[in-house]
Amino acid sequence: MFGKLKALSVLGVGVYLASATYAAAQQADLNSPDLVLINAKILTMDASSSVAEATAIRDGKILAVGTSASIKALIGTQTRVFDVGGKTVVPGLIDTHAHFKAAGMAEYVVNMSRAKTVAEALDAIRTFAGKKKPGEWIIGGAWHPPSQLAEKRYLTRQEIDSVAPSNPVYLRTVGHFSMANSMALQSAGVDKSTANPGGGSFERDAAGELTGVLVETAIDRVEKAVPPWSDEDEIQQFKLAESVLNGFGITSAVEGATEARDIRTLQKIALAKEATLRVGLMFRPEPPAEMAAWEAIMSGNGASSGFGDDWLKFAGIKIFYDGGMTLKTALMRDVYPDSHDDYHGIAQQTPERLKQLISICNRYNWRVGVHVVGDLGIDQVLDAFEAADKEKSIRDRRFILIHASLIRPEQMERAHKLGVRIDFQNVFMWDKAATVERFLGRAVADRALPTKTLIDKMGLDNLGAGTDFPVNPINPLLNMYIMVTRKDPNGNVYGASEAISREQALRLYTSAAARYTFEEAKKGTLEPGKLADLVVLSADYMTVPEDQIKDIKASITVVGGKVVFQR
């Protein structure tokens, strides 16, 4: 009997020890990383520009950064391990200005980006029309005919009619101009007797007939006639778009002009835990005629800038002011070189109305970002910001000059005093520098996007880089290449003195970019406690020959500790 008890006792001790070991192992696994990257060159982009070999991730955040040996010691039985073989790892890239839904539209719209001549553009429409039933709308993806087509012009409605006679056709461009065929104009109730709206026009030929080209505010008339996508289509378009951006190493983006429906769609995706891109929303309500109506929109349900979470939040209110350099609508101090009258560009509203709009936004704690390109336009937007600041300080609110492509040094100083940030897009000059030169002269093309001067005058942390996709390519490494080299595709250099270093360019996409949405304590660098958003690059960004920067690709993209893209 005693022998049996002794055996049972020994057995019990064994069971206890096994259980204790299992519990300890379980506890160790609970504390172990979900994912580690080892044998890497990690550019943390912290304040010291530290470089590490490995990182550990748990619960969507950076657990540790250090040597491969120190990180290996943390690995548990459930840890996923990536040995990246010495590749460079950088924080997740942040595009501070994009209209990224366009990246998910390939199956829904005509791709006009490859057309190099009027004939090729019309052929693209003809091919797409062949897949449509009579009466179904045909929508075009963003493109830029004046710089893209050999003929340097927009398509006419008669040309579009010739290849799609049975369908309404509406062709968006990179902004400020659109084209429509006869059926589309008819659907919108526009004919040759229709008056031009304030701040825009329905272009006409010498005989007074509509050409089908819509300028600025005239676009809205036809845009509203285009039938909306279904909810299912919208969700799919945004999900596809997020995955496309992930493929370029982009983990966060500021949506540059968001409509209410887009916000609802993005919220559905985030609530379903299907988001792979963190989004800051620049809400763009159409300013109504009456300021009381604008105030009702701003007071809304009490929300204001910053409302949201790590996946989706309001970044501010977007207001348009002038046009663009290649559209000859940027509001300039100097008269346009080829102008036959006193033409300085186009403002979409008066300076007094702009002040009222911004004042009301400020009153309800909405941060404002204004689309402005020309130097005269920047003068007037800064006037409006200064007026708002006198009513209620904006100095810690990071109001934004969006684009500010032709900003001058004294304007940078004015902006800096107000705590205003500038978010620009060097990649605009990739395929449009020659057009800027043609319309505004070489001196203006050289001073466009004065990146080094902006850093010198305002400090890098008050700036951010984006693409304005689909106006320009979404590729962040192409954008960084242009910041570093100032070259166009033909190797022509514009404004060589405004080139910046590789690290500065990368910071404009990471540590500085995170400040757009006041999230510098959460993302933009690879440090313990921050969101685990990172990219493994195909080549060493810091050491490859300069001309190869643009060819670097994302090999692995991680958002919130999850691999969302792997090449």
* Single-letter code of the amino acid located at 507: R
Burial label, 18 (beta-carbon count in 10 A; 0-12, 13-18, 19+): exposed
* Single-letter code of the amino acid located at 374: G
DSSP characters over 89-142:
EEEPEEEEEE-GGGGG-TTTSB--TT--SHHHHHHHHHHHHTTS-TT--EEEPP
Task: Yes or no: say if 255 and 468 are a contact pair by the CB < 8 Å rule.
Answer: no
Nearest to 153 by CA among 390, 318, 328, 280: 328
Residue-level pLDDT at 7: 43
Query: Running DSSP on this structure, what letter comes out for residue 230?
Result: P
DSSP characters over 336-388:
PTT-SSS-----SS-HHHHHHHHHHHHHTT--EEEEE-SHHHHHHHHHHHHHH
Burial 312-345 (b: 16+ CB within 10 A, else e): bbbbbbbbbbbbbbbbbbbbbeeebeeeeeeebb
Cβ atoms within 10 A of the Cβ of 255, count?
26
Residue-level pLDDT at 5: 37
Task: Yes or no: say if 370 and 282 are a contact pair by the CB < 8 Å rule.
Answer: no
Residues whose CB falls within 8 Å of the CB of residue 177, separated by 6 or more in sequence, listed in order? 154, 213, 214, 215, 216, 219, 327
Nearest to 89 by CA among 73, 71, 76: 71
The domain spans of the chain are 109-223
Residue-level pLDDT at 6: 44
- Taking the C-alpha atoms of residue 466 and residue 505, their distance in angstroms, rounded to an integer, is 11
Long-range contacts of 126-129 (CB under 8 A, 24+ apart): 126/163, 126/164, 129/163, 129/164, 129/166, 129/167, 129/169
Euclidean distance between the first and the last CA atom of the chain, given in angstroms as a whole number: 67
Cβ atoms within 10 A of the Cβ of 10, count?
10
Cα dihedral 424→425→426→428 (10° resolution): -140
* CATH 2.30.130.10, domain 109-223, yes or no: no
Residue-level pLDDT at 107: 84
Residue-level pLDDT at 341: 84
Residue-level pLDDT at 463: 98
Residue-level pLDDT at 19: 53
Burial 396-433 (b: 16+ CB within 10 A, else e): ebbbbbbbbbbbbeebbebbbebbbbbbbbbbbbbbbb
Residue 178 region, left (φ>0) first, then alpha (ψ -120 to 50), else beta?
A: beta
This prediction has a pTM of 0.87
What's the Cα-to-Cα distance from 526 to each of 217, 508, 531, 567, rounded to whole Å?
44, 15, 8, 22
Residue-level pLDDT at 3: 45
Each residue's pLDDT, cut to its tens digit, for the chain (567 residues) gives: 344 434 434 445 555 554 555 445 455 577 899 999 999 999 999 999 999 999 999 999 999 999 999 999 999 999 999 999 999 999 999 999 999 999 999 889 999 988 999 999 999 999 999 999 999 999 998 888 988 999 999 999 999 999 999 999 999 987 789 999 999 999 999 999 999 998 899 999 999 999 999 998 899 999 999 999 999 999 999 999 999 999 999 999 999 999 999 999 999 999 999 999 999 999 999 899 999 999 999 999 899 999 999 999 999 999 999 999 998 999 999 999 988 789 999 999 999 999 999 999 999 999 999 999 999 999 999 999 999 999 999 999 999 999 999 999 999 999 999 999 999 999 999 999 999 999 999 999 999 999 999 999 999 999 999 999 998 999 999 999 999 999 999 999 999 999 999 999 999 999 999 999 999 999 999 999 999 999 999 999 999 999 999 999 999 999 999 999 999
- Taking the C-alpha atoms of residue 362 and residue 365, their distance in angstroms, rounded to an integer, is 5
CA atoms within 13 A of residue 556's CA, in its CB half-sphere: 21
| Structure-block tokens of residue 270 | 């985030």
Nearest to 357 by CA among 452, 307, 291: 291
- Taking the C-alpha atoms of residue 380 and residue 378, their distance in angstroms, rounded to an integer, is 5
